[in-house]
A and B are shown apart, each in its own frame.
Chain A
Amino acid sequence: MKEIGIILGGPQGAGLETSMAVLGRALARKGYGVIADREYFSNITGRHSYIHMLISSTRLPRSLRYPVEILASIDAETIFTHFDDVVEKGVVIYDENQLNKNIDNIPSIEDYTREKIKTKLAKLGVSPVIKNVVDYLEKERNIKPIEIDFTYIIKLLTQRFKIDPRQASRYVSGLIVSAVSIVIGLEEKFVKYGFEQQFRERRYLIEHNIALYELVNDSIARFRNIVKIDEPKIGLNKLMIVTGNDVVAIAKIVAGVRYQSYYPITPAADESFTIEKYEYNEVNGKAVGPIVVMQTEDEIAAICSAIGASLSGSRSSTATSGPGFDLMVEGLSFAGANEVPVVITYYQRGGPSTGQPTRGSQSDLMNAVFAAHGEFTRVVLSSGDHVEAFYDTIEAFNIAEKYQVPVIHLLDKFLANTIASIPVPDIDKVRIDRGKIVFNGPSYKRFDLSNLISPRAYLGSDNIVMWYSGDEHDEYGHIVEDPENRLKMYSKRIEKMKLILEETPLDIKMGIYGDKNPDYVIIGWGSVKGVALDTIETLSSKLRLRYINMKLLWPFPRKEFLEIVKDTPSERIIAVEHSYGVNIASLIAMATGVTVTKKIAKFTGRPITLNEMIEAVERIIFKNERHVVLSYGA
């Protein structure tokens, strides 16, 4: 097959994240493109989690779709939850010890979900016991059951290597990786590479997992190549395998971040962990760092200390999600008032309140653009995928320092936790712009009004003394309430927005894809990009579609936007967002006067998949629907 979709499911804590990393690297090693979303509960151990993956032999995949060819389960809950997601002639891999499991005996399933599944099974005439579900899949759906005795295989392994039986469960992730590899025909050496990359200096784990692979192979050798993936034809000789958190962390290091603060929050904290891992490096005798990664007492301290570090001259940032950003808002306002360059990486998750802490969302657009009292310039920049996130992270610092403004890099959980194969970033394309910096002695005025951008000096520069104040201030930074000064200083801060709009290149403002004379234009931002591009490509034989990936969300690039949609009547524009309100439409209306009324929304916390996006676009275009709400995915 050209492409294969897979779900790997099991209880939280069983090591699925490891499976994803091992399989991702193994596949990339052979030259396949991979993308995988990780879905999990706010829980450490026991709740249902799964990896939804797409492997491609011909391209670097950018969206996920249902149904999948392979359902690989560690536990019974996975089968109950996903049995309906498997395509005809697909396979279901399961532990034969689960066959007699009844859904009523699985306490980790939420009651709501259990009832829903039971109802569905009852309609199909299937009793809620794994063996009946598997029988049904085999007989009615032509799905091949692949039965493995997990307990037996792990027992053989633990006996052979004298592994403490209490450690046995940590091998389940390797077992499932092995089974999937065998089914799709991925050779042992690539799987071995995946284990080696994952476990590195823990040689014994590599050895055990390779032995495990062989045991699984002995058990299911007859299923080798049953859903075979074609030989790869992508042609890249090097790939990067990264999550969104990783790629942003790496980009921050390249950008020269030297102070990163954070308070632990899902799905942002992993970014700071990755930076911390690289807090000091030397390469070719060159120091990269030191980077101070500071876990603060709360998000207020995170933003305030990041601002402080910026005042001292450090490239400085913080990373958070919605609840944390809410706490940062007063600090954001201070940064606006004091023209402080600082980057806030904002990974949206499901709100309001604690909401769905481990699920994705794009419902905070308005929060990022408008939160905080008073009026001032901020920049809100979003990225459509891992590659964009890399370059945009660096650009976020450049914009922050060039215009002395806070920059919010608005991302989301989908990107944060999705692992993707991407080309290795081109460092030659990266530039660092620290803006106007001076060291000009005693009469220094931090907020010199002779230009929109007052040259910046760092605290600690020789012979320079300066003041900052959250109060309205004069050119020196001292509190002044004079109305004329207020008018000048207040306007200066806001009018930087014009400069940003004039000077920012089009590709930072938006990406334009698809047909140049479109019948319909789809507009979205952030992680909608991949699925939107696959949608317009899939439908290209019957529809001329264009996708606009909005990147600079604030200040809104009105002029360019109007230019692009000038030949498209507004009823032929469709906005897509992972939210209830599809709020980008409101932002467009406010900034441009264009009223977008066709909307595709998804706010279940699960990503929009290709199948449902295609259907939604068709419903809008051919069935004249205006507002399609999507909900597929467990």
Chain B
Amino acid sequence: MEHRYEYKTSLWVDWCPGCGNFGILTAVVKAFEELGLDPSKTVIVSGIGCSGKIAHFVNVNGVHTLHGRAIPFAMGIKLANPELTVVVHGGDGDLLGIGAGHFVALGRRNLDIVVIMHNNGVYGLTKGQASPTLPLGVKTKALAKPNIQQAVNPILLALASGYTFVARGYAFEGTHLKNLIKMAIKHRGAAFIDVLQPCVTFNDVFTAEFYRKTIYKLDEDPSWDPVVRKPEEAREKLLNAIERSLEWGDRIPIGIFYVNEYVSTFEERLSKRLYRYPDTNPSNAVIEMNGKPILSQQEFEEIFKDYIVNVEI
């Protein structure tokens, strides 16, 4: 009989009514359900802000970490136990502001982790300051003056950093988002989904109404194929993705921008150096026997012989 898991915790979800995060939560739960992920082998690692709380609302292992640092926590979790499915959730301030260095580093590593960014253009929990994705000159309602800093383009940054699965979803396009999440989890390597997420309380510019009018699906165009099907296509597909990533304003694309499974994952790179990895890994390697180290005196001296000098008598 198929084992069914309950993917929602019983906690009250304390986001504002109408928050885009509800859409993301529903899509995540649905994606996990459809993939039949074992909650004990799945970890949501989140940062700080409204998005960070999602770790508590999903009934899989949850690690609710520090502002901007979800990715390095997730990296340690995944490297130590590569068997785990690891999904990072962070806001745009979290991942592209305070945590931007880690965001870039994950792309370079192509470690098999999914990053879902709740992108609402503001720092909600601290009452609506401008975030790194809010365009220059935009004045959302909590701001005293229009935003004086430029926005970073999350899709472009992810592509430049080396993510091998790059997509954008919309919080209230539930089925579409769920499918993106499923594909991202199945993808081998670092996957990034930029999720447009209206903040009903603090962002009165990029609202649900705004997105309803502007978003379109990339795959509406039957000729759009973001998947690198042969290694030599990588450059062309990347250039196509970069071009599409620049679209914003009247028409905002959602869907998959780029997929390239020809880049080695970090786990594969490690397994070339660390014989037996990932089957034997930091979480399951034997390190003691009956309270003693696994090395005997003789074995210790054998391994570290470069440091041992036998005195010539």
A314→B293 contact, CB < 8 A: no
B2 interface residue (CB < 8 Å to A): no
Chain A's closest residue to B105 (CB) is A297
Interface residue from B288, B295, B304 paired with A434 (Cβ < 8 Å): B288
B101 interface residue (CB < 8 Å to A): yes
Q: Mark A215-244, 1 if CB is under 8 A from B, else 0.
A: 000000000000000001000111111100
A313→B80 contact, CB < 8 A: yes
A301→B105 contact, CB < 8 A: yes
Q: Mark B11-42, 1 if CB is under 8 A from A, else 0.
A: 10000000000000000000000000001110
A460→B309 contact, CB < 8 A: no
B1 interface residue (CB < 8 Å to A): no
B193 interface residue (CB < 8 Å to A): no
B40→A289 contact, CB < 8 A: no
B76→A432 contact, CB < 8 A: no
A30→B294 contact, CB < 8 A: no
- B-side contacts of A281, CB under 8 Å: 303
Centre residue among B63, B84, B282, B311 by max chain A CB count within 10 A: B282
- A290–B77 Cα distance when bound, in Å, is 15
- A261–B80 Cα distance when bound, in Å, is 12
Interface residue from A256, A288, A467 paired with B56 (Cβ < 8 Å): A467
A464→B79 contact, CB < 8 A: no
- A578–B311 Cα distance when bound, in Å, is 35
A468→B62 contact, CB < 8 A: yes
- A447–B302 Cα distance when bound, in Å, is 42
Given A31-B313, A305-B76, is A427 in contact with B41 using a C-beta cutoff of 8 Å? no
B61→A478 contact, CB < 8 A: no
Give the residues from 293 to 313 in chain B that come closer than 8 angstroms, CB to CB, to chain A: 293-297, 299-304, 306-313
- A-side contacts of B287, CB under 8 Å: 255-256, 258, 315, 432
A462 interface residue (CB < 8 Å to B): yes
A466→B61 contact, CB < 8 A: yes
Which of A4-12, A118-126, A469-477 participates in binding chain B?
A469-477
- A581–B219 Cα distance when bound, in Å, is 67
B311→A31 contact, CB < 8 A: yes
Given A314-B283, A465-B59, is A427 in contact with B295 using a C-beta cutoff of 8 Å? yes
Which of B67-75, B127-135, B164-172 participates in binding chain A?
B67-75
Centre residue among B45, B284, B311 by max chain A CB count within 10 A: B311
- B-side contacts of A428, CB under 8 Å: 297
- A459–B83 Cα distance when bound, in Å, is 11
- B-side contacts of A424, CB under 8 Å: 301, 308
**How many Å from the CB of A287 to the closest CB on chain B?**
6
- A424–B300 Cα distance when bound, in Å, is 10
**How many Å from the CB of A243 to the closest CB on chain B?**
10
- A-side contacts of B207, CB under 8 Å: none
Given A256-B287, A297-B102, is A470 in contact with B310 using a C-beta cutoff of 8 Å? no
B69→A300 contact, CB < 8 A: yes
- B-side contacts of A23, CB under 8 Å: none
- A330–B69 Cα distance when bound, in Å, is 10
- B-side contacts of A462, CB under 8 Å: 40
Which of B244-252, B257-265, B267-275 participates in binding chain A?
B267-275
Interface residue from B77, B277, B291, B313 paired with A459 (Cβ < 8 Å): B77
Give the residues from 161 to 191 in chain A that come closer than 8 angstroms, CB to CB, to chain B: 189-190
A304→B66 contact, CB < 8 A: yes
Given A279-B274, A297-B101, is A309 in contact with B63 using a C-beta cutoff of 8 Å? no
B281 interface residue (CB < 8 Å to A): yes
- A467–B61 Cα distance when bound, in Å, is 6
B77→A30 contact, CB < 8 A: no
Given A290-B280, A432-B293, is A304 in contact with B302 using a C-beta cutoff of 8 Å? no
B179 interface residue (CB < 8 Å to A): no
B43 interface residue (CB < 8 Å to A): yes
Q: Mark A440-473, 1 if CB is under 8 A from B, else 0.
A: 0000000000000000001111111111111100
- A162–B221 Cα distance when bound, in Å, is 69
Give the residues from 538 to 572 in chain A that come closer than 8 angstroms, CB to CB, to chain B: none
- A-side contacts of B56, CB under 8 Å: 467, 469, 478-479
Lowest 6 A-B CB distances belong to which pairs? A308-B76, A256-B287, A258-B282, A314-B282, A305-B76, A290-B274
24 contacts between A and B (CB under 8 A): A29-B309, A237-B313, A250-B307, A254-B295, A258-B80, A259-B282, A283-B299, A289-B285, A290-B274, A291-B274, A292-B277, A294-B79, A302-B72, A308-B77, A309-B79, A330-B69, A424-B308, A427-B295, A428-B297, A434-B288, A462-B40, A464-B40, A470-B65, A477-B62
Known: A28-B309, A246-B307. 20 other contacts (CB 8 A): A29-B311, A29-B312, A31-B311, A197-B306, A238-B308, A239-B308, A241-B308, A256-B294, A286-B295, A292-B79, A304-B73, A305-B72, A307-B76, A308-B75, A314-B283, A334-B66, A427-B295, A432-B287, A460-B40, A465-B61
* Chain B residues packing against A (C-beta within 8 Å): 9, 11, 39-41, 43, 45, 48, 53, 55-56, 59-66, 69, 71-81, 83-84, 101-102, 104-105, 270, 273-277, 280-288, 291-297, 299-304, 306-313
